[in-house]
Amino acid sequence: MGVEKQDCRCTNGEKMRKGRAVAYVMGAVLPLLISSMGIPVVAQPISEAFGVNDAAGNPGTLVNVPVDITNVSGGTILCVIFDINYDSSVISLSAVQRGELTGTWDSPEVNTFLWGARVLLVYDGAVDHAIANGSNGSVALLNFSAGWSPGSSSVMNVSTIQLAGGAPEYLVGTAPERNGVFHVDAGAPEVSDQSTDPEAIQADGVQGARMNVTVVDDTADEVEVIVNVTQLGGSTAKKLEKISDTLYSTTTTAAPGTSPGLYFLTISATDALGNTNNTEVFRLTIEAPPAGSLTGAITRTCNGTGIAGATVNLTQTGSLVDSVMTQANGTYAFSQITPGGYYVNASKLRFWKNSTAVTVMIDETATVNMVLWMKGDLNNNCLQADAGDLAMMKAASVGQLTPDWRYDLNQNGISADAGDLAMMKAASVGELELL
């Protein structure tokens, strides 16, 4: 057992000889044999696993590969020595750093060979800095530098793992090796076979097109594929769902109001190392949705002439859809109206507003003509608040004439009340404008 003690007390920089490596193996096996013979021995530290996971890097980059130990048992660990075997034509070991469990230990020692490197970590002399039973975590970080051959790979095999326990025996245990592969990335993903189904949709926010694309990468599991659909009123980065190993898919609609035409939607495919290919596009044609139109004229009740500059609003379930002004001759027009039921509302200063319901049909032009009454023109002679209008208001106010809604100038729901009469009088002498 003295051999193990010596070797795990090795001073920094001391190199091991081949004969000692053999002794380590014997040291690990011998206590097990003794144990199986029923002779009690002091346990040596072991763990469930020791080694590395797969890693990857872009050519010429540095990658930290942790060397992890799993579920330590059999005694605390004061010294760790292991070999790491790799292909030095693919990666090189630039440095080794302390791991999570060895943060206070002496600086790691590394000796590089043709086959790889031997790494040594020894505690700083403080026994409470030993790796405790039950520990999980890294004992070292291998700083591998990826070579310049895209797509190449190297093994990362650990071997000759020595885990030294404490006083008085300083026994050496070992652990099952966990090996990994280091992959030097081949570059950005390849994007091909992009398609949309259907190839054209209407700009109605409802019709959808499925977009499929084939994306291949040497780190295929981790590729993120997105498409920019801002031109259609969507997201800058709509994520495609992975359907199979290489097939990615999503759907899109085109928002109402999207201009008809052929659109090029950029596809971005990014691998786990951040290499992006955004050279390909989905081609999607946007068509105008089926629509109808609406025209008409807004005229005066008094003489049938057109009212210029009247506001005509088109609303649907209370929301404004579109708004136009009438021409000099009182006509107006709405085009590209989605089929459905609407209200047309016309208004202008000095006129009572008016509205009517209309149904717009696909490829048809509905006509809505409306008349507007002048405010205060009760006798309908195209003059506001003239003597005749005032006489009518007065007659209505004393019950000699039945008033209609046009007599309610103050809009309090009562026609030809004292307030309405007062307004008409004031308007008649120019003190007030009936707007």
Residues contributing to the site for Ca ion (CB under 5 A): 185, 217-218, 271, 377, 379, 381, 383, 386, 389, 408, 410, 412, 414, 417, 420
User: Which CB atom, from 165 or from 403, has the smaller least distance to Ca ion?
Assistant: 403
Nearest-angstrom CA–CA distance, 236 and 266:
10
State in angstroms the smallest separation of the CB of 426 from Ca ion. 14
State in angstroms the smallest separation of the CB of 221 from Ca ion. 11
Nearest-angstrom CA–CA distance, 111 and 172:
21
Q: Which residue has the tokens 């310049």?
A: 148
User: Which CB atom, from 169 or from 420, has the smaller least distance to Ca ion?
Assistant: 420
State in angstroms the smallest separation of the CB of 297 from Ca ion. 22
User: Which CB atom, from 300 or from 348, has the smaller least distance to Ca ion?
Assistant: 300
User: Which CB atom, from 83 or from 185, has the smaller least distance to Ca ion?
Assistant: 185
Nearest-angstrom CA–CA distance, 94 and 416:
98
State in angstroms the smallest separation of the CB of 384 from Ca ion. 6
Nearest-angstrom CA–CA distance, 428 and 291:
48
User: Which CB atom, from 333 or from 414, has the smaller least distance to Ca ion?
Assistant: 414
User: What DSSP string runs through 359-406?
Assistant: EE-TT-EEE--EEEPBTT-TT-SS-TT-HHHHHHHHHHHTTSS---GG
State in angstroms the smallest separation of the CB of 187 from Ca ion. 6
State in angstroms the smallest separation of the CB of 386 from Ca ion. 4
User: Which CB atom, from 344 or from 427, has the smaller least distance to Ca ion?
Assistant: 427
Nearest-angstrom CA–CA distance, 299 and 174:
100
State in angstroms the smallest separation of the CB of 408 from Ca ion. 4
User: Which CB atom, from 59 or from 74, has the smaller least distance to Ca ion?
Assistant: 59
Nearest-angstrom CA–CA distance, 297 and 329:
8
10 Å CB burial of residue 45 (0-12, 13-18, 19+) is buried
Angle at 75 between CA 74 and CA 77, to 5 degrees: 125
Residue number of the CB atom closest to Ca ion: 271
10 Å CB burial of residue 209 (0-12, 13-18, 19+) is buried
State in angstroms the smallest separation of the CB of 271 from Ca ion. 4
User: Which CB atom, from 303 or from 319, has the smaller least distance to Ca ion?
Assistant: 303
User: Which CB atom, from 144 or from 332, has the smaller least distance to Ca ion?
Assistant: 144
State in angstroms the smallest separation of the CB of 35 from Ca ion. 49
CA-wise closest residue to 214 among 269, 283, 132: 269
CB 134 within 8 A of CB 72: yes
Phi, psi of 303 (to 5 degrees): -140, 5
Strands (E), 30-152: 49-51, 55-57, 62-70, 79-86, 91-98, 109-113, 116-122, 137-146
Q: Are strands 365-367 and 331-337 parallel, antiparallel or unpaired?
A: unpaired
User: Which CB atom, from 87 or from 408, has the smaller least distance to Ca ion?
Assistant: 408
User: Which CB atom, from 68 or from 389, has the smaller least distance to Ca ion?
Assistant: 389
Nearest-angstrom CA–CA distance, 55 and 305:
83
State in angstroms the smallest separation of the CB of 283 from Ca ion. 26
And the tokens for 345? 């509302």
Say if residue 108 is preceded by a cis peptide, omega within 30 of 0: no
Which helix (DSSP H) or strand (DSSP E) does residue 294 occupy?
Answer: strand 292-300
State in angstroms the smallest separation of the CB of 391 from Ca ion. 10
